[in-house]
Amino acid sequence: MSKADPGTIGQYLLACLYQGGVEHIFGVPGDYVLGFYGLMAKGPVRHIGTTREDTAAFAADGYARCRGMGALAVTYGVGALNTVNAIAGAYAESSPVVVISGAPGVREQRDDPLIHHRFGPFRFQREIFERITCAAVVLDDPVIAFRQVERALAAARQHCKPVYIEIPADQVMAPGYPMPREIPETPSSDDSALAEAVAEAAELLGHAVSPVVLAGVELHRRGLQDALVGLVEQARLPVAATLTGKSVFAERHPAYLGVYEGAMSTENARYLVEQSDLLLMLGVTLNDVDTGIYTARLDPQRIVRAAQNEVVIRHHRYPRVLLADFVAALARSVKARGEAFPAPAAPQPWDFPAPDRPMTIARLVERLDRALAPDMIVVCDVGDCLFAAADLRVHERSEFLASAFYTSMGFAVPAALGAQVARPDHRALILVGDGAFQMTGTELSTHARLGLAPIVVVFDNRGYNTERFILDGAFNDIADWRFHRLGEVFGPMQGYEAPDETAFESALSEALANRSMPSLINVRLPPGDASIAMKRLAGHLQSRVKGEG
């Protein structure tokens, strides 16, 4: 693609994605997008076929969280509309996923024909995606198509949100029209506001007796993990994370207190955060999950809160102060506090596995915590396993992926596919409930096909256990699957059934040693078992279902 030959619209889209770090595109082919697939097969971007479109979208989401951008390519109607939930999740969770949808050709659409996969006026699909993306474009005019592509991808990057790009079948090979490249406006801080905010925050920090940092998901989305470490080590501050921000701070770091989530937190984390005389909230979103369904007790009088584009100290605001600038400048302004961080405590000896002891979630999570290796990415589904996993301490930054705010069941297995493709040097540890696994777990077939070797731990309590704590009924029971035998259907995959600790220990050792195929451990949990955090949460949810909320 030179000035003389600008290339086609499809080529340009693929080139821009590749330059943006997207080396793999997930998806299921279909006739309106086949031309694009044919083009992709000739270039460096690799197609990763999934069994369904929603799982392709979850995979692209996992990929985006590891690489800064992910993409999927699907056909019109039946393909794209299958991704609506997963893309809404990427929007809610701030993950920059590019949805490429084929469509009937421009010439084909002209007479408004009744053609297959059609469900209404052709524009309806774009209108649906406009509600779950930060930009939605249809490349039906070659003269402006290059510009549309650039702006859509820039929007995805800037807002950390999904975008929608529809490419009619007859436009894939249409020559584009080169235009001046847009220089995207880089957001910047108001220098005076920044200086004043930093000075005030540093002053407050200097006088505080028990300051604590609460780290949120925006730090991850803006790539500020290192900046956070810089600030924390400079000022010697303890750090808690929100549930959606989990793993934004290295969890084996001596400064780490654990996850703060209101009444669901550990006693220690809750006490230190809520009693702190200066809580420095960085990139925290105040949603119901992160606040333990609004059970957080945080006093604005003692809070300095930096969001993406403003700093709030007590009851006054500094607009146009960027999170990145604030964290960096504050690190330069603060003085180190008294003591250095203590050396991490050596792990205590432990009696796992105890003979004849049935598995419980609490002991399962502690065992997994000890098994975590630096090359692992933990990908966690929704429900019990998410609440329990708050206590896992992952090693490096960015190693815990979950749909912790949007809480869509079925996220983990396909998102782990994307994460592993994005970071082939890492191995996924997938935590997933039985209900969620029944939704998307067969995507493990693709892990197996690609020679990936995730370890899947199924929290099997034969139903929607979180809901049982809110309102129980037969509707919360589900079919009893022998998950560990799925390898019979689409192996290679090694499966294990673990009703007790001895069986689990043996399965886990084998799984850790087996790097040639997926391993699945079906942990049969006793009825009524749950994480403590979940029991606390359920009490609060109950009152809401009853209409008391």
Q: Provide, rounded to whole angstroms, the least separation between the CB of residue 77 and its own copies.
A: 7
CA 25 to centroid of chain Cα atoms: 18
Sheet holding 256-259, edge to edge: 256-259, 239-241, 211-215, 278-282, 303-306, 310-313, 316-319
Toward its own copies, which CB reaches closer, 48 or 330?
48
Among 5, 116, 199, 299, which residue sits at the site for its own copies (rule: CB under 8 A)? Answer: 116
DSSP label of 85: H
Residues 269-328 that bind its own copies (CB under 8 A): 285-289, 294
- Is residue 341 within the footprint of its own copies (CB under 8 A)? no
Q: Give the integer Cα–Cα distance in Å for 530 and 26.
A: 35
Told to check if 89 binds its own copies by CB under 8 A, we report yes
Q: Among residue numbers 488 through 547, which ones bind its own copies (CB under 8 A)? A: 488-490, 541, 544-547
What are 259's strand-pairing partners? 241
Among 1, 41, 336, 373, binds its own copies (CB under 8 A): 41
User: Which member of 77, 211, 283, 418 binds its own copies (CB under 8 A)?
Assistant: 77
**Residues between 350 and 369 with contacts to its own copies, criterion CB under 8 A:** none
Gap between the Cα atoms of 375 and 370, Å rounded: 14
Which runs of E-coded beta strand occur in 362-442? 376-380, 400-402, 427-433
CB of 475 to its own copies, least distance (A): 5
| Interaction between residue 483 and its own copies (CB under 8 A) | yes
State which residue, 11 or 446, has the beta carbon closest to its own copies: 446
Does 434 carry a binding-site annotation? yes
* Residues 247 and 259 sit within 8 Å (Cβ to Cβ): no
In this structure, the number of other CB atoms found within 10 A of the CB of residue 473 comes to 8
Task: Give least dist CB 172 to its own copies, A.
Answer: 7
6 in contact with its own copies (CB under 8 A): no
The only residue of 57, 69, 88, 330 in contact with its own copies, by rule CB under 8 A: 88
Token representation of residue 220: 């991850």
User: Do the annotations mark residue 522 as ligand-binding?
Assistant: no
Q: Which two tokens stand for residue 423?
A: 């970071």
CA distances from 327 to 49, 60, 229, 230, 315 (A): 41, 30, 10, 9, 20
**Among 43, 120, 319, 451, interactor with its own copies by CB under 8 A:** 120
What's the closest the beta carbon of residue 120 comes to its own copies, in angstroms? 6
How is residue 7 written in tokens?
């290339």
As measured in angstroms, the least distance from the Cβ of 335 to its own copies is: 35
Q: Is 465 annotated as a binding residue?
A: no
Beta-bridged to residue 97, according to DSSP, are 70
Q: Please, what is the minimum distance in Å from the beta carbon of residue 113 to its own copies? A: 7
Among 342, 349, 473, 527, binds its own copies (CB under 8 A): 473
481, 499, 506, 539: which one contacts its own copies (CB under 8 A)? 481
Q: How far is the CB of 336 from its own copies (least distance, A)?
A: 35
Unique residue bearing structure tokens 């979950």: 402
In the sheet where 135-138 sits, what is the strand order?
46-49, 24-27, 70-74, 97-103, 163-168, 135-138
Report the nearest approach of its own copies to the CB of residue 194 (Å): 26
146 lines the binding site for its own copies (CB under 8 A): no
Integer Rg of the chain from CA: 24
For the purposes of burial, counting CB atoms within 10 Å of the CB of 395, is it exposed (0-12), middle (13-18) or buried (19 or more)? middle
Asked if 262 interacts with its own copies (CB under 8 A), we say no
Q: Does 135 bind its own copies (CB under 8 A)?
A: no
List of E strands, 288-332: 303-306, 310-313, 316-319
* Shortest spacing between CB 473 and its own copies, in angstroms: 5
Is 142 a binder of its own copies (CB under 8 A)?
no
Is residue 480 a contact residue for its own copies (CB under 8 A)? yes
Window 14 to 33, contacts with its own copies (CB under 8 A): 28-31
Alpha helix locations (H) across 276-378?
Answer: 323-333, 361-371
By CB neighbour count within 10 A (0-12 exposed, 13-18 middle, 19+ buried), where does 513 fall? exposed
Which residue in the set 380, 448, 453, 523 belongs to the binding site for its own copies (CB under 8 A)? 448
- Considering only residues 162-201, where is the footprint of its own copies by CB under 8 A? 169-170, 172-174
Q: Does 240 engage in binding with its own copies (CB under 8 A)? A: no
Strand pairing of 278-282 and 303-306? parallel
Does 49 bind its own copies (CB under 8 A)? Our answer is: yes
The CA distance from 309 to 167, in Å, is 34
User: Which residues in 382-421 contact its own copies (CB under 8 A)?
Assistant: 405-410
Binding residues: 434, 461, 463
Binding residues for Mg(2+): 434, 461, 463
